[in-house]
């Protein structure tokens, strides 16, 4: 029996390696066409990618090397965004546009390290890794730059990690959304664009399972995440019916449960932590009559941002 198991394991590893090579080439080509982009020379960006890929190939031992290059690239992109916002302010009333505040590299390290490890696990098909630390919830008061922080992490991860797929959502855009605007719908569209067949899959967990078989890691990035708690989804069958609650909150929980998935929230420090922790007493005091699934501080760690200016 042991001999048979070893033979099966060897076959599975060989298959995973074949799929991994195909997935890495495919995702690397697709992320080059991202709607987000770095304002950097192709030569410099290529150097960053080469260094990051070398770190990725080392596995978990390459974390420090990866964080060195990834943090440099992310901070550069955030600084360029800050400059662009200041230039925009020159055409308006600068007094009405707060100076952008950016976080230090501790927060980038935490987020990028999680993306790195999920990518390494997925690339090697390591399914036995504990999933307890699969999410980070960044909270602070407005004007700290959380939105751009999340975008920068997602962009850096998809640019430097060859098998990392990112979905970004702003939960504050609407309180009544269409089915394709949920976490499930966004993931379905992203995977379909990458050629991953998930059309018949009805849950986030089943789609992540398909993606992980191609050795892909997946990150879900949600800005203004407190709005997921009360969002509703308009039914296709009856426009006059009361919209159902958006199950994206529970879908994020599915992402956190999967060995290849990770999730990142940004939102209000006064509300979002109580939602993540399912603090019924506090939520009741804030006027929330419906309490959703807890994401708890083990699966999704709450990080309070201490901003500073670059």
Per-residue confidence band for 42, with pLDDT thresholds at 50, 70 and 90? confident
Establish if 310 belongs to a structural domain.
no
Establish if 65 belongs to a structural domain.
yes
Rounded Cα distance, 204 and 16, in Å: 22
How many structural domains are present in the chain? 1
Rounded Cα distance, 5 and 145, in Å: 51
Task: Report pLDDT digits (tens) over 247-299.
Answer: 899 999 999 999 999 999 999 888 999 999 988 889 889 888 878 888 877 88
pTM of the model: 0.80
Q: Cα–Cα–Cα angle for 95, 101, 106, nearest 5°?
A: 175
Q: Find the range with the poorest average confidence among 119-133, 169-183, 259-273.
A: 119-133
Range of the domain at 56: 2-304
Greatest mean pLDDT among 5-9, 80-84, 91-95, 157-161 lies in 157-161
Greatest mean pLDDT among 175-179, 231-235, 301-305 lies in 301-305
Best CA proximity match to 256, nearest among 213, 283, 296: 296
Establish if 25 belongs to a structural domain.
yes
Rounded Cα distance, 304 and 1, in Å: 51
Task: Report pLDDT digits (tens) over 68-122.
Answer: 999 988 888 777 666 665 555 554 444 444 444 455 678 889 999 999 999 999 9
Task: Give the pairing type, strands 261-267 and 232-233.
Answer: unpaired
Best CA proximity match to 161, nearest among 70, 255, 262: 70
Rounded Cα distance, 218 and 251, in Å: 13
Establish if 309 belongs to a structural domain.
no
């Amino acid at each position: 029996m042991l001999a048979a198991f070893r033979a099966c394991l060897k076959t599975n590893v060989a298959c995973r390696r074949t799929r991994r090579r195909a997935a890495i080439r495919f995702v690397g080509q697709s992320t080059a066409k991202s709607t987000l982009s770095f304002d950097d020379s192709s030569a410099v960006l290529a150097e960053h990618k080469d260094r990051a890929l070398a770190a990725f190939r080392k596995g978990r031992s390459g974390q420090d090397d990866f964080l060195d290059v990834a943090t440099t690239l992310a901070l550069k992109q955030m600084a360029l965004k800050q400059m662009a916002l200041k230039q925009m302010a020159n055409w308006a009333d600068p007094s009405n546009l707060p100076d952008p505040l950016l976080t230090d590299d501790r927060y980038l390290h935490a987020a990028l390290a999680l993306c790195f490890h999920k990518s390494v696990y997925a690339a090697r098909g390591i399914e036995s890794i504990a999933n307890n630390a699969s999410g980070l919830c960044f909270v602070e008061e407005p004007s700290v730059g959380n939105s751009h922080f999340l975008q920068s992490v997602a962009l850096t991860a998809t640019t430097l990690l060859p098998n990392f797929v990112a979905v970004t959502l702003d939960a504050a855009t609407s309180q009544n959304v269409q089915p394709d605007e949920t976490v499930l719908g966004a993931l379905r569209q992203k995977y379909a664009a990458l050629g991953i067949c998930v059309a018949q899959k009805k849950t986030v967990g089943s789609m992540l399972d398909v993606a992980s078989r191609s050795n892909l890691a997946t990150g879900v990035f949600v800005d203004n995440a407190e709005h997921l708690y009360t969002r509703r989804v308009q039914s296709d069958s009856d426009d006059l019916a009361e919209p159902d609650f958006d199950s994206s909150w529970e879908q994020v929980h599915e992402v956190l449960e999967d060995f290849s998935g990770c999730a990142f929230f940004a939102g209000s420090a006064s509300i979002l932590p109580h939602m993540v922790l399912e603090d019924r007493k506090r939520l009741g005091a804030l006027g929330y009559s419906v309490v959703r699934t807890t994401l708890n501080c083990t699966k999704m760690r709450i990080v309070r941002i201490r901003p500073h200016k670059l």
